[in-house]
């Protein structure tokens, strides 16, 4: 399963526990997760003036990511902050964490995902990767309580996920640059699907899963503001 699908399922599961809450989608991009919160909660979105994301929608709050300046959001305003695949793009990381903490109510939650093994994206605004230890340390240093931490898409599924993602990216580049016509690309997709099936069979047959224990695509962490 693709990393984005796993994140979506995790967030959908998380969202079912909450209603009548003020939700901030921090770095909302195309607002793909709005649907999980909009019916039972009050949804707000925040993004930057300029980013490498191609589909930024109109947002409740706009910030200038290049400077350390507090947003216009009141202190302790939100019950929950959702921050998916954002922190790797943040210029001023420590300031951003403190700003999220400022606008979050006491005992409020932050749902965070970050990539670990993943190609550069939203170029040139891609600055870092987090290990599970690194993302945990970041929030502990800012006095959050860790409620959950989980590695997303691990072992052979991680290898298959990278393989599929890179091939799809390559095919999209070839199509957009009109190097191949649509029919040729359909044939290539079928061919690559066959290669993926072969790779999946090879990994299951010849590679012991424990050899890939520390290979995974992303992190999920849920933290609580305690002070």
Contact predicate 110/144, CB 8 Å: yes
**Domain identity same for 124 and 191:** no
**Domain identity same for 193 and 139:** no
**Domain identity same for 123 and 12:** yes
Q: Is there a cis peptide before residue 72, judged by omega within 30 degrees of 0?
A: no
**Domain identity same for 89 and 197:** no
Look-up: residue for tokens 């947002």?
59
Question: Cα-flanking dihedrals φ and ψ of residue 152, to 5°?
Answer: -105, 135
pLDDT tens, position by position, for the chain (227 residues)? 688 999 999 999 999 999 999 999 999 999 999 999 999 999 999 999 888 777 677 889 999 988 999 999 999 999 999 999 999 999 999 999 999 999 999 999 999 999 999 989 899 999 999 999 999 999 999 999 999 999 999 887 887 778 777 777 777 777 677 766 777 777 777 777 777 777 777 767 766 666 667 889 999 999 999 98
**Domain identity same for 221 and 134:** yes
Sheet holding 42-48, edge to edge: 61-63, 42-48, 22-26, 78-84, 104-115, 216-225, 144-154
Structural domain including 195 reads 156-210
Domain count, the chain: 2
Q: At how many degrees (to 10) do helices 93-103 and 132-141 cross?
A: 60
* Full-model pTM: 0.85
**Domain identity same for 122 and 43:** yes
**Domain identity same for 141 and 177:** no
**Domain identity same for 119 and 205:** no
**Domain identity same for 65 and 125:** yes
**Domain identity same for 169 and 137:** no
The enclosing domain of 83 has a CATH number of 3.40.50.150
pLDDT of amino acid 72: 92
* DSSP structure string for 184-198: HHHHHHHHHHHHHHH
**Domain identity same for 83 and 93:** yes
Q: CA 119 to CA 109: how far, in whole Å?
A: 29
**Domain identity same for 46 and 136:** yes
């Amino acid at each position: 399963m693709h990393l984005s699908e796993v994140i979506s399922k995790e967030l959908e599961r998380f969202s079912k526990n909450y209603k009548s809450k003020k939700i901030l989608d921090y770095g909302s991009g195309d607002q793909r997760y709005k649907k999980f919160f909009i019916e039972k909660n009050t949804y707000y979105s925040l993004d930057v003036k300029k980013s490498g994301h191609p589909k930024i929608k109109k947002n409740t709050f706009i910030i200038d990511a290049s400077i350390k300046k507090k947003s216009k959001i009141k202190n302790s305003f939100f019950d929950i902050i959702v921050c998916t695949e954002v922190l790797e793009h943040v210029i001023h990381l420590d300031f951003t964490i403190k700003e999220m903490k400022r606008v979050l109510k006491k005992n409020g939650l932050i749902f965070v995902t970050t990539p670990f093994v993943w190609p550069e994206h939203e170029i040139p605004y891609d600055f870092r990767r987090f290990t599970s230890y690194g993302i945990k340390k970041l929030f502990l240093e800012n006095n959050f309580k860790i409620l959950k931490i989980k590695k997303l898409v691990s072992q052979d599924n991680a290898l298959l996920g990278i393989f599929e993602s890179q091939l799809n990216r390559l095919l999209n580049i070839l199509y957009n640059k009109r190097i191949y016509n649509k029919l040729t690309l359909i044939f290539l997709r079928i061919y690559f699907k066959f290669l993926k099936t072969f790779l999946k069979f090879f990994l299951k047959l010849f590679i012991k899963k424990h050899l890939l224990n520390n290979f995974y695509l992303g992190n999920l962490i849920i933290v609580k503001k305690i002070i």
